[in-house]
Structure 1
Amino acid sequence: MDETSPLLDSQPQDSPDLLSPNLRPRHQELIPTPCGPVKPWVELSLPVKLYYSFTIVSLLALLGLTITSIYKQHTETDEPGEDDFTVSLIQMVGILFCIYYISRGVLQENRQELVVFVLSVLVLMIRSVVNFTVLGAKSKQELLVRFVCIMCLGVVHVLCTSVLIQKPNMMAFRVGGALERLQEQYFLLNFCFSMVTFDLQAQLCLCILITTSDPAMSARSSIILAVGVVWACLTAAVGAVAVLKEAKALVWVFMVQNLPQVAFFIYLMYTVIKKWYEDNIFTLEAAAVTGALLCLLIKVVLFWGLIRLVQSFGQGLRERMFAATK
């Protein structure tokens, strides 16, 4: 028998074209992006296309109403309602992140992003209800249109997105093939990436709460807060790159970067709770404490996911996700 026969060839066959059809990655028809492969528009079903388009248009409309409300509150001659101005700013940030969540959730069949989108919409609705109930008659009349739009569209988005979440998800199989370990790693990767984004949103909203709750903030505190915003954005960027590029060194850098933030959140809760005994109105203070606790919870969950994800680095998922289309 010929010793050069393929049957006796002991060399590993690493070429993707020589892999078993069940193990070959199925992402060649997907569109590669810096955040991972996404489905082309033509692959989306007609109902999904209609809902996605409706969601983007409705969120942009709400964004326009919110920006208009912020402008009116900022330019009015009377003293604006501090609580409502804060809520409007947070709603604007929430709407911008919702546009990102629904886009990534639909185009990547990312259930984590869809779940975060639903949670963000629910928080937006609850915040709107609480804010609307404590407003005066004049303010209620001015914000009635925005309130009705948020509540009606919010119910539609929660119901429709819940249906999308229940649909079969084939993205992990298309990217990782039939290998269960790669599918699990793909799930963890998306989970950690979503938590990094959600963490950034929570921190930005918390910074807005802190800034607007203390109009007499000293210059030193303002500088510290501004540095904190830049640090949060930088930390999120490092975390996203670390997750997508499977860079273990950046993962540890990301965790170290979070330590000052954790210390700040603990200090913030201490100072705000201490201030409660000096003020008679606790609305924004309670929101700040709740936001700090939420940020701490997000970081705990994120660290747990990152520790599990790091253990699966180097198994070939990154190469499959960012491979050039054929």
Structure 2
Amino acid sequence: MTDASGARRSGTSIAVVPEAAPELVAAVERAGGVVGPLDERTRGIVWSASSGGDDLAEVLRRAPGVEWVQLPWAGVDGFADVLAAVRGDGRTWTSGKGVYSRPVAEHALTLTLAALRRLPRRARAVEWRRDESSRSLFGADVVVIGAGGITAALLRLLVPFGARVSVVRRRAGDLEGAARTVTTDRLVEVAAGAGVLIVAAALTDETRGLVDADVLAALAPGAVVVNVGRGPIIDTDALVTALASGHLGGAGLDVTDPEPLPVGHPLWSAPDCLITPHVADALATTPALLAERVEHNVRAFLGEGEFDGVIDLDAGY
């Protein structure tokens, strides 16, 4: 962004909506922005709700002069309709991409270890019963779907275990810390014989249903599946079947399809399935992490540096 753009935007109004979250208001002001009500003077929007695509579309209609919009989370599938409608309109859209990488990677590791050690089954036990069914992460063949910030953080966490990690991504290109990096068309190939499959990708048309019955069947008997990306990336019916058959040794899911997972769904009663209610990034520090991103991007909007977490409207994340 040029200095001229920054000078022109200096003093322009940024609206924090639909709720004026205090930590986000403070972040805008720390960066030198002016927080104001939503009106014809609004040039930037910090969206403070985790969803509400229809509401955001209405806000944009009321404030046609908006040049930049900050969304709160890394995943933007909840705003897919409004993002599709504004493609090519010249606005800059940014997300929380990368903001929550470390806590989500930590949660992915937690679910992986829990599933490998059969903790879901053991936590439900009401009698003392020993078995030798646990598996180790040390030296395991691990497949990770997605090559964003979560995967980068997870690769660092996996180093002490000496795991051989294959990363599956949309575009060709190596990723530091991965033994190999392949494109999504080779997923079944790299899943063959793997002991751990971790989903850490965004939900797009390409990734929806990517982990299907063929992928699950390719995994080693007793393998575990972890999802900290988005629920619909895994075919839920195929996952239920693989768990019930005993082919999978377990699953750790922070996201599901459908979500919220209804009472009585077979995944709740699967003895080797651990479900957390989409809380991988729900920490006491989460608001502060988002505030840091907002502060950085307000400065960029005012002409100081580059935006972080820019959304590729064509790719959908």
TM-score range, shorter chain: under 0.3
TM-score after normalising by structure 1: 0.26
TM-score after normalising by structure 2: 0.27
**Larger relative contact order, structure 1 or 2 (CA cutoff 8 Å, min sep 6):** 1
- Which one has a larger percent helix, Structure 1 or Structure 2? 1
- Which one has a larger percent strand, Structure 1 or Structure 2? 2
Which protein shows a greater Rg?
Answer: 1
